[in-house]
Amino acid sequence: MEKLSEKDKGLIRDSWESLGKNKVPHGIVMFTRLFELDPALLTLFSYSTNCGVAPECLSSPQFLEHVTKVMFVIDAAVSHLDDLHSLEDFLLNLGRKHQAVGVKTQSFTMTMRLTVVGESLLYMLQSSLGPAYTTPLRQAWLNMYSIVVSAMTRGWAKNGEHKSN
């Protein structure tokens, strides 16, 4: 597993300081953007049949629970910047679970351009941090994101889905 520079860690910790105190609203910003970018992702949640459009779903308890889980994973990554490898097994399993519910690696992994999950995370950071969202800060978050996602992607591979699927 790759390592982050001390500079990246500082930028990530400082920016998460305020965002992490208000996880769910920031998670809603991220997922609102995600469903705008790829509305089909909504249907992967079995409980999406209980709601209609994305804004309605994102105010339902089950969706809010998933948003909360997502933000806790980000929080765990930020708290373990010095030993991200300790999350390896957890992230691998998380990748497997997402593969099992029909999420494709393309939603997570970065190849030529940013993908929908990465794009939505950056959108949330940009809208919350305003002028504090600088190029080095964006890059620091992208570096952490790519470490987290590469561990999750190994979960897809273990389940038999080829990385490029």
Q: Which residues bind ligand HEM (CB under 6 A)?
A: 41, 44-45, 66, 69-70, 73, 94, 97-98, 101, 103, 107, 117
DSSP H/E element including 135: helix 135-158
Could you give phi then psi for residue 50, rounded to 5 degrees? Answer: -80, -5
Comparison of 97 and 163: residue with beta carbon closer to ligand HEM: 97
Closest to 19 measured CA to CA, from 82, 94, 78: 78
Q: Kindly state the smallest distance separating residue 113's Cβ from ligand HEM, in Å.
A: 16
Comparison of 6 and 65: residue with beta carbon closer to ligand HEM: 65
Q: Kindly state the smallest distance separating residue 131's Cβ from ligand HEM, in Å.
A: 26
Q: Kindly state the smallest distance separating residue 21's Cβ from ligand HEM, in Å.
A: 19
Comparison of 7 and 158: residue with beta carbon closer to ligand HEM: 158
* Rounded Cα gap, residues 58 and 100, in angstroms: 22
* Rounded Cα gap, residues 38 and 116, in angstroms: 7
3 state DSSP class of 61: helix
